Amino acid sequence: MKRVLASVLLGAGLLVGNVGGAHAKRMLAPDVVPSSQAITKDIVDAVQEEMKRAMNNLQIPGAPKPYSISYKITEVEVNDAVASLGYSTSKKSRHFVSLEARVRVGSVNFDNGNFVVPGGDDIDAVSTVTLPLEATPRIARRAAWLATDSAYKEALIQLRAKMESRKAGGVGRADVPAWTEQKKLESDTQIAVPVLETVAELEARAKALSAEFRGAPHIRDSRVAVTSYLERRWYLTTEGTSVTDTRRASGVLITASSQANDGQALAQHFLRYGHTAKDLPSDQELKDEAKKISDLLHNQAKAPLVGRYVGPVLFEGEGAVGFVRQTLAPHLGGTPLPEGLRPQDAKQFGGALTEKVGLRVAANMLTFTDDPTASAAFGKALIGGYKIDDEGTPAQRVTMVKDGKLLTLLTSRTPSQRDAVSNGHARRTADGGAFHGSATNLFISAKGGLSAPALKAKLIASARNEGLGYGLLIKRFDDAAITSAPEFSRHELLNMLQTTDQALPPPALVAYKVYPNGKEELVRGVQLAELPIRTWKDVIAAGNTPFVYNYLAPSESFISLRIGGGTDNGNVPSGGIESAIITPDLLVGEIEVRTSTVGQRPVPAVARPTVPTP
């Protein structure tokens, strides 16, 4: 339960709705959400008092006292609606408050943090409790007392296990401290954000857009989800930090599935996030996207499988975003891997750049920057911004790679080197309880960018130089948080778990062969081979137009999401880290591509029923 609640809360800032005409004018009025009625100054003061009492009195005889206690109070308000074929399938309004306590025992030089207890992955010195929406200072103080006591006892177990691991020769550097100091921050001013769209407004929009899939016999399933979301956070620490932050986001999801003529499952989606409804596409634009999805699935049903290929690949638009998301973003964190992490899990965690600072890790034309202080780029809203990270450290703009050379990584308060400090990027949770550095507004820039026609011509020329009859263009990767459907049998799920190579990137959902005359042929079954971090040295060209894409980075792996049926039962995803990637199209010199026949199952024995028009 601890992990589930954490993913819901950390996934926070996102989700959706945009409406046309006079309706839109009312929704986009400058009305703002009033200050929290659930978390008042008296509530915050009560939690602070309990924090002080715990620091003075919390100790089990013979065991160390806490040297650091922190709290995160999170208030979430979310409205969402889902519809299919013009009919509502789900609508709800949620409002809840939680209090999370984190306790550290030992000292800044060696403590319980960032350690996975063998056989006890959930023992991480973190405890979360739910607060009533009409909590009193007395209720809040009692909740803080219980959460702190639970977290403290876990911290002692974690510390003891970590000490025993070190004595047994476990991985860990004695010369690197466990925790770094942070100047206290104080700010109790709540940020004003626009009001949420109502459930009724979201439902009406979802129903209208989802009706676009009526009369499409090739569509197996379809849905439209819209959500409007608000999250307030308060951070309190024994170092004196007392600060609040507010996030507001909107999002829309269109997804549909079908089957190829040979029975292979097909799925497509369109997902957009923004700060408010005005940042999202208009109703007409979304209807156009729904039609594009329908037409694409119709054409994919009869498209050929790609066949084996080794050669240049052009990643365009969302395809470039997927390439960045899968091959680069997980490796930009500089927080050390949790001690005790199983080897098979460590590979999925990232960290391929931790020993490469000062070396060339990408093509000389490329520069990578993460800027959580940015709220927009190239006229588009960015949802990955924040005022303070999850450890209460102010957000900072950091350039990790300049002209291909790795300068630094994104860090939290758990250092990997002596004298290292946090640069305000503690956003990713992991087993062991520590926050890890993570990219949230990741900018990829390139010198000498080419126009789209010139980049396509370079793809064709590169393929010709390799003696190939075509190049490969990828426009979108699969996202299991969206496209997974919990309709697989137990046998299919078991087979999927046993046969899926988790080192591979997700399958490409939209891909084309590009022939010397410029003709593009739609293909399916495109599975790229493993893409190590050195692939970034093989980028031979980039476009000159940035593509901006917002998403939530889930904590679960692709296969976990696939087996679990995705997230949120068809709603716009709300579990993960609010993130954005801004990147030009990217041309990689050589990538191996395999043919995938995953998802093949018999087509329905009876023709699809028709849906009567109301």
At 490 the pLDDT is 61
Q: Residue 29 falls within a domain, yes or no?
A: yes
Write the pLDDT tens digit of every residue in 381-396.
999 999 999 998 999 9
Q: Residue 299 falls within a domain, yes or no?
A: no
Q: How far apart are CA 282 and CA 278, in angstroms?
A: 8
Q: How far apart are CA 359 and CA 533, in angstroms?
A: 13
Q: Residue 259 falls within a domain, yes or no?
A: yes
Torsion angle, CA of 72/78/84/85, rounded to 10 degrees?
-150
- List, in order, residues 6 or more apart from 383 with CB less than 8 Å away: 13, 14, 249, 273, 274, 275, 550, 578, 579, 580
**Domain co-membership, 360 together with 220:** no
**Domain co-membership, 223 together with 336:** no
Q: Residue 297 falls within a domain, yes or no?
A: no
Q: Which domain holds residue 406?
A: 305-595
Task: Kindly report the CATH number assigned to the domain that includes residue 61.
Answer: 3.30.2290.10
Question: Which burial class, exposed, middle or buried, applies to 518 when counting CB atoms under 10 A from its CB (0-12, 13-18, 19+)?
Answer: exposed
Write the pLDDT tens digit of every residue in 131-143.
999 999 999 999 9
* 561 confidence band (pLDDT: 50, 70, 90): low
Q: What average pLDDT does range 69-89 have in this prediction?
A: 96
Query: Which of helix, strand or coil describes residue 571?
Result: coil
**Domain co-membership, 156 together with 213:** yes
Residue 418 has pLDDT above 50, yes or no: yes
Mean pLDDT is lowest, of 59-63, 229-233, 356-360, 377-381, for 229-233
**Domain co-membership, 232 together with 353:** no
Q: What average pLDDT does range 57-74 have in this prediction?
A: 97
Q: What average pLDDT does range 216-221 have in this prediction?
A: 92
DSSP letter at 211 equals G
At 10 the pLDDT is 35
Q: Residue 268 falls within a domain, yes or no?
A: yes
Q: How far apart are CA 196 and CA 576, in angstroms?
A: 21
Q: What is the distance between the terminal CA atoms of the chain, rounded to a whole angstrom?
A: 43
Q: What average pLDDT does range 548-552 have in this prediction?
A: 95
Question: Which burial class, exposed, middle or buried, applies to 290 when counting CB atoms under 10 A from its CB (0-12, 13-18, 19+)?
Answer: buried
**Domain co-membership, 204 together with 320:** no
At 470 the pLDDT is 98
Q: What are phi and psi of 513, to 5 degrees?
A: -80, 135
Write the pLDDT tens digit of every residue in 431-442.
899 999 999 999
Q: How far apart are CA 428 and CA 180, in angstroms?
A: 17
At 422 the pLDDT is 96
At 219 the pLDDT is 94
Q: What average pLDDT does range 28-34 have in this prediction?
A: 62
* 566 confidence band (pLDDT: 50, 70, 90): low
**Domain co-membership, 321 together with 421:** yes
Per-residue buried b or exposed e for 70-79, using 16+ beta carbons within 10 Å of the residue's own CB: bbbbbbbbbb
DSSP letter at 360 equals B
**Domain co-membership, 266 together with 314:** no
Query: Which of helix, strand or coil describes residue 315?
Result: strand
* 255 confidence band (pLDDT: 50, 70, 90): very high
- Radius of gyration of the chain, Cα coordinates, nearest whole angstrom: 25
**Domain co-membership, 238 together with 130:** yes
Write the pLDDT tens digit of every residue in 467-495.
999 999 999 999 987 876 555 566 666 66
The percentage of residues in the chain with a pLDDT greater than 70, rounded to a whole number, is: 88
Q: Residue 290 falls within a domain, yes or no?
A: no
585 and 316 Cβ atoms separated by less than 8 Å:
yes
Q: How far apart are CA 575 and CA 484, in angstroms?
A: 15
Residue 252 has pLDDT above 90, yes or no: yes
Q: Residue 283 falls within a domain, yes or no?
A: no
At 28 the pLDDT is 36
Torsion angle, CA of 19/25/28/30, rounded to 10 degrees?
-170
**Domain co-membership, 266 together with 309:** no
**Domain co-membership, 382 together with 270:** no
Q: How far apart are CA 337 and CA 242, in angstroms?
A: 29
Number of domains present in the structure of the chain: 2
Residue 173 has pLDDT above 80, yes or no: no
One-letter amino acid at 39 equals I
Residue 18 has pLDDT above 50, yes or no: no
* 13 confidence band (pLDDT: 50, 70, 90): very low
One-letter amino acid at 310 equals V
Q: How far apart are CA 377 and CA 465, in angstroms?
A: 37
- List, in order, residues 6 or more apart from 155 with CB less than 8 Å away: 66, 103, 104, 105, 112, 125
Write the pLDDT tens digit of every residue in 297-355.
999 999 999 999 999 999 999 999 999 999 999 999 999 999 988 776 776 678 899 99
Which residue is it, tokens 């696939």? 562
Q: Residue 289 falls within a domain, yes or no?
A: no
Write the pLDDT tens digit of every residue in 528-541.
999 999 999 999 99
At 16 the pLDDT is 31
* 364 confidence band (pLDDT: 50, 70, 90): very high
Query: Which of helix, strand or coil describes residue 372?
Result: coil
**Domain co-membership, 256 together with 377:** no
Nearest alpha-carbon partner for 219 in 556, 609, 500: 609
At 19 the pLDDT is 29
Q: What average pLDDT does range 261-275 have in this prediction?
A: 94
Q: How far apart are CA 354 and CA 349, in angstroms?
A: 12
Tokens linked to 310? 């080794």
**Domain co-membership, 244 together with 322:** no
